[in-house]
Structure 1
Amino acid sequence: MLPSLPSPVLFALYVLAFASAAVVSFGMLPRARRIEHEDTRRGLSWLLLTSGGWAAAHVGYLTLPTPTLQYVLYEVGLIIGLASVGPWLYFCSAYTGRTFHRNTTIQRSFAAVFLLLVAIKVTNPLHQWYFVAEPALVPFRYLQVTHRPLHWIVMGLSYALTAIGFFMLFELFVRVNSNAEPLFVLLGLTGLPVIFDVAGAVYPNVLDLTYSSIGVAAFALGVFVLYFDRFQFVRVAGDGDNPVVVVDESGRIRDFNARAEALFDDLSGSINEAVSEVAPELVRALDAPDPVFETDVSGTTRYYNVSDTPFTTGGAQTGQSIVLTDVTDREQYRRELEEKNEKLEEFASIVSHDLRNPLQVAKGRTELAIAEEDVEHLTPVKRAHERMEQLIDEILTLAREGVSIDDVERVDLPVIAERSWSMVPATDPELELEGEFDADLSADPERLQQLFENLFRNAVEHGGSDVTITVGALPDGFYVEDDGDGFPEGAASEVFDAGFTTAADGTGFGLAIVSEIVEAHDWSIEATEGTNGGARFEIHTDTD
């Protein structure tokens, strides 16, 4: 089609094509400087400069009056064109959140190869390894360039590096689940000049030039048509490894990455929908005084801090990125501290309340003993001291049992139950073992023994000297049951509260200690009515 055009028209089309590419590239520089992300801005700006200079050099090559000047401008274009590969890769690396563009080893290697090739191109008049040139009259008067194999090797390397950049972009679009069609359109525009590169080597009426500067200009134009919309949103969504949801100024979802989709199933296919409808819990967390989002991930509770960062275009806010940062360890630690503080307050309340009575008794009786010189008053003092000692011991035990367990071992539950039974100061009650117990049960032997001892004492204290205690197997754990009087009506839900007791001389800490031991093992416990009307405690060791 080109050979049928008159020479002046064909010449004008060539000049117009490269001049337009230069104008577009240089004309986009002011918009490039408005890009907020510094490295992306720097890479794209230099890409525009080099591609514009490359196209402008081709204009000079076509229009300058002498072959010598045309030769010089063509070499200048080759050097600038080769240099444009660097900014292209810099832009792709920065835009996709990688750090290759900041790697000094890569920078030095690229600079060394670039300078070597520049030296070859500059000295081409001496060796003509790269190209040969001679005046021609077809399809119009110009300096005809015939490229040598070295040129095509360098071109192949350049296009291979360019393809790496496109792969970075494509991987980012895939990672954030974004529509990659705009990227393929730009890829087509950028790669279209390759057809003319090949045609120039095959058809004599097509100039044997490098037309890639036109493709770069087309890419730049496409980026700036799309950048502040799709391309901007994609870059923000792909920035970092945290879940990210990008919304526009009206709160509609524009993009999100794969990590965000894993947390919010409804995000799939939700582009242009309101984030308040698709993920209302995310919006609630963002608006809360403490913006922490709690969710279940593969059966594990995870906590994310929710923050939003607005981004602008030309000084006007065009949207915001909602970033979820995993703070599970910090949040769990904070909640553990809160729980410990609650326990400290509980212990302080117990100490101030339960120790005050025996302390006042001991103080009053001691004053009477001194005033009346009657040692009989010291007997209640002794009992008060024993009571305070018991309370202090059980409070300390309760505090220790709340500590999590790190080291466990396989235990023989019936053996530990028998050993615990021997520690209970009672002879009349009976202990029975029923069922086949889990041979693979793992626990802290000392704390498990403490659990049994407290349950046995509780049964004896409330059931009397003739109570029968049964330790039996459950499909997911074991139980301890007695045939005593059972729980008072409505008390089953309170028996594990520290300080709760129905016995006149009870401390109310025995079952609280049991509950702490169970919780420290990551087990669960339930108080129910026994089969014979007594109390039954079911400990479930398999909580998955």
Structure 2
Amino acid sequence: MYAVGLVAGLASVGAFCYFASAFAGRGYHRDRAVRLAAAGTFVVVSALKLTNPVHGAYFSTTVVTDPFAYVAFDPGTIHWTISAGAYVLAAVGLYFVYDTLADAGRTSLRMGLVFALLPAPVALDVAALLRPDLLIRTYYEPVGVAAFAIGLLWFIEGRLDTLGGVGRKHLVGQLDSPVCFVDDERVREANDRFVALVGHDVVGRPIGSLPESVRRTLDGDEETVTISTDGHRRQYRVSVSTVTLGPHRIGRAAIFADITDERRRMREVVRQNRELDNIGEALAHELRNACAITSGHLERAGEHAGPGGDPAVRSASLSTAAGGVDRIERVISQLETIVRDSRSVTSRSPVDLYWTATQLAGPTSPPLSVVDDGTLVGNPVRIDHLLENVFGLARSEGADELSLRMASGVLTIEFAGLSVPRTDEDLFGYGQSVPTADSGMYLPTIRLIAHAHHWHVDADVTGGDSPTLTVSIDTDPDTPPEPWDGRPLSPDTERTGASSPQES
């Protein structure tokens, strides 16, 4: 029976080491190699203990009559060697537990006394060997182990609501996203990404030290949060979970998943779908007009084809019909370019507005004035197409003067002498004959190219003796994205979107 008790004592050391590794989140208890080595050692040592009656190397027995008759156990060298190893393992386990409690701020004198209960009986063992007249020669370790187990259970069980260090460390260490762990009052744990997100170290500080938007997500008032870091705004979806250990609620864990790129891609899909719808509408409108004009004049030319017809009318009608065919070809060519220009811009470079504009201005263009502060940054090919449409509109409608002004990230285009008695939506809508049927593609294409850069476009019309159409394009590429809620986006409120894999 004594040998069986020794085996049980050895098993208790293994159980404690398993508990200490799990409690501290070390992971040794899950390591297959460590577990196999521990099991093999346990089997070998248990065999030595159980076969002691055969070899007598582990311990020997002596009948002692003073102060009363009992059987005394005399440990051998193997016993002391194995005991030393067991105490080393127990000491490592104690360190794991102490380190975890210290991280949680729960160390105290009482905890030290509880830990001292485990090795204390060794002194009784030594005293019994040296002074058998004072203590009987037996093993006192079970008393210390039992006292330590009860004390540790009391100490930890009574404080699980404030410990949680193991779960916190394991959680924040395994995730790449920003993570924080809070209790009812303070931030108990946070990884480096969360610290970078909020801009300062928050571990151990009151929850009130967190940004208000983050606090609202922790309270469950909002599921997403937008945070500015290094001048850039990022959007996060926040998942808040209550963390419990047994019956105890030890706090809340919040994981911040970056959804900025996801939202931008969704915005880009919405934008491109809208542009494709607009292009389809433009195609139908322009071709319908051209076909109607061509068909009407061909019919009229046919009416004057006979002997009684007017050759001049017939010739004029055929000429107009030919112009309609040319218009159809021109529209198709324009739409091919428009489709390419609708793709999101992914590469930008500084553009010399003055040089580009003067190169594109033709002899039939109205007088041109250009003011450039050098802040225009965009795709040079798309900027060329945008300005081509600007000059096309000015020539088509006979503008008295064209003014281009680039200042502080805003490109202002003024068409002096161009009267447009319509609303902004009519100005930029495909399928609208604004200002006239012949120039209905120019303004919508200007806005399409601007939106492909994720720029914002406004228009203003002033009347009077000198009517002027003013188009303002905010070219600031750092304008942060607004949260997208899944509803269709208004073209005039869209400022930014995701990058497209395609580029002209």
In the alignment, does 2:120 pair up with 1:196?
yes
Per the TM alignment, residue 335 of structure 1 is displaced from its structure 2 partner at its CA by: 3.3
2:266 alignment partner AA: R
Q: Distance in 1 between matches of 2:234 and 2:419?
A: 35
Q: 1:1-12 residue pairs with structure 2 within 5 A?
A: none
Q: Distance in 2 between matches of 1:139 and 1:461?
A: 124
In the alignment, does 2:20 pair up with 1:83?
no
Per the TM alignment, residue 494 of structure 1 is displaced from its structure 2 partner at its CA by: 7.5
Helix, strand or coil for the counterpart of 2:84? Answer: helix
User: Which of the numbers 377, 380, 401 marks the counterpart of 1:467?
Assistant: 401
Helix, strand or coil for the counterpart of 2:227? Answer: strand
Per the TM alignment, residue 155 of structure 1 is displaced from its structure 2 partner at its CA by: 1.4
Q: Which has the higher contact order (CA 8 A, sep 6+)?
A: 2
Do the aligned partners of residues 537 and 457 (structure 1) sit closer, same or farther apart at CA in structure 2, a change above 3 Å counting? farther
Q: Distance in 2 between matches of 1:378 and 1:139?
A: 137
> Does the CA-based 8 Å contact 2:298-2:318 persist in structure 1?
yes
1:75 alignment partner AA: L
Question: Structure 1-normalised TM-score?
Answer: 0.60
User: Which of the numbers 129, 136, 155 marks the counterpart of 2:87?
Assistant: 155
Per the TM alignment, residue 328 of structure 1 is displaced from its structure 2 partner at its CA by: 4.2
Q: 1:227-238 residue pairs with structure 2 within 5 A?
A: 235=167
Per the TM alignment, residue 345 of structure 1 is displaced from its structure 2 partner at its CA by: 3.1
Helix, strand or coil for the counterpart of 1:406? Answer: coil
More helix as a share of residues: 1
Q: Distance in 2 between matches of 1:266 and 1:514?
A: 51
Q: Distance in 1 between matches of 2:163 and 2:405?
A: 67
Helix, strand or coil for the counterpart of 1:155? Answer: helix
> Does the CA-based 8 Å contact 1:246-1:255 persist in structure 2?
yes
Per-residue CA deviation, residues 262-284 of structure 1 (Å, 9 max, x unaligned), is: 6799996359xxx9995268634
Aligned match of 1:108? 36
1:108 alignment partner AA: L
Identity over the aligned pairs, expressed in percent?
18
Query: What CA RMSD, in Å, does the superposition of the two structures yield over aligned residues?
Result: 5.4
In the alignment, does 2:292 pair up with 1:360?
yes
> Does the CA-based 8 Å contact 1:459-1:469 persist in structure 2?
no
Per the TM alignment, residue 349 of structure 1 is displaced from its structure 2 partner at its CA by: 3.6
Q: Distance in 2 between matches of 1:397 and 1:139?
A: 110
Aligned match of 1:422? 359
Q: 1:145-184 residue pairs with structure 2 within 5 A?
A: 148=80, 151-164=83-96, 167=99, 180-181=105-106
> Does the CA-based 8 Å contact 1:266-1:279 persist in structure 2?
no
Query: Which runs of 5 or more structure 2 residues have no equivalent in the other structure?
Result: 129-133, 306-313, 480-504
Q: Distance in 2 between matches of 1:312 and 1:161?
A: 21
Bigger mean CA offset, 379-388 vs 293-302 = 379-388
Q: 1:494-509 residue pairs with structure 2 within 5 A?
A: 498=430, 502-509=434-441
1:334 alignment partner AA: M
Helix, strand or coil for the counterpart of 2:343? Answer: coil
Per the TM alignment, residue 80 of structure 1 is displaced from its structure 2 partner at its CA by: 0.9
> Does the CA-based 8 Å contact 1:419-1:449 persist in structure 2?
yes
Aligned match of 2:384? 449
Helix, strand or coil for the counterpart of 2:220? Answer: helix
Aligned match of 1:397? 337
2:237 alignment partner AA: Y
Q: Distance in 2 between matches of 1:197 and 1:512?
A: 90
Per-residue CA deviation, residues 161-218 of structure 1 (Å, 9 max, x unaligned), is: 44235546766x5xxxxxx43x769955752423514544665578652623432344
In the alignment, does 2:213 pair up with 1:279?
no
1:157 alignment partner AA: L
Per the TM alignment, residue 302 of structure 1 is displaced from its structure 2 partner at its CA by: 1.6
Helix, strand or coil for the counterpart of 2:141? Answer: coil
Aligned match of 1:301? 234
> Does the CA-based 8 Å contact 2:427-2:435 persist in structure 1?
no
In the alignment, does 2:152 pair up with 1:215?
no
Q: Distance in 2 between matches of 1:337 and 1:185?
A: 63
Per-residue CA deviation, residues 479-511 of structure 1 (Å, 9 max, x unaligned), is: 455572477689679755556674224544434
Do the aligned partners of residues 335 and 526 (structure 1) sit closer, same or farther apart at CA in structure 2, a change above 3 Å counting? closer
Do the aligned partners of residues 276 and 422 (structure 1) sit closer, same or farther apart at CA in structure 2, a change above 3 Å counting? closer
Do the aligned partners of residues 222 and 361 (structure 1) sit closer, same or farther apart at CA in structure 2, a change above 3 Å counting? farther
Q: 1:134-145 residue pairs with structure 2 within 5 A?
A: 143=72
Per-residue CA deviation, residues 109-146 of structure 1 (Å, 9 max, x unaligned), is: 44455556556666778585x77876776899674666
Question: Structure 2-normalised TM-score?
Answer: 0.64
Do the aligned partners of residues 85 and 462 (structure 1) sit closer, same or farther apart at CA in structure 2, a change above 3 Å counting? farther
Per the TM alignment, residue 432 of structure 1 is displaced from its structure 2 partner at its CA by: 5.0
> Does the CA-based 8 Å contact 2:228-2:234 persist in structure 1?
yes
Per-residue CA deviation, residues 361-420 of structure 1 (Å, 9 max, x unaligned), is: 334444555566456544443343444444444444344323233344x54x33x75345
1:448 alignment partner AA: I
Q: Distance in 2 between matches of 1:508 and 1:166?
A: 78
Q: Distance in 2 between matches of 1:266 and 1:488?
A: 61
Do the aligned partners of residues 101 and 491 (structure 1) sit closer, same or farther apart at CA in structure 2, a change above 3 Å counting? farther
> Does the CA-based 8 Å contact 2:459-2:469 persist in structure 1?
no
> Does the CA-based 8 Å contact 2:457-2:471 persist in structure 1?
no
Query: Which runs of 5 or more structure 1 residues have no equivalent in the other structure?
Result: 1-68, 174-179, 286-291
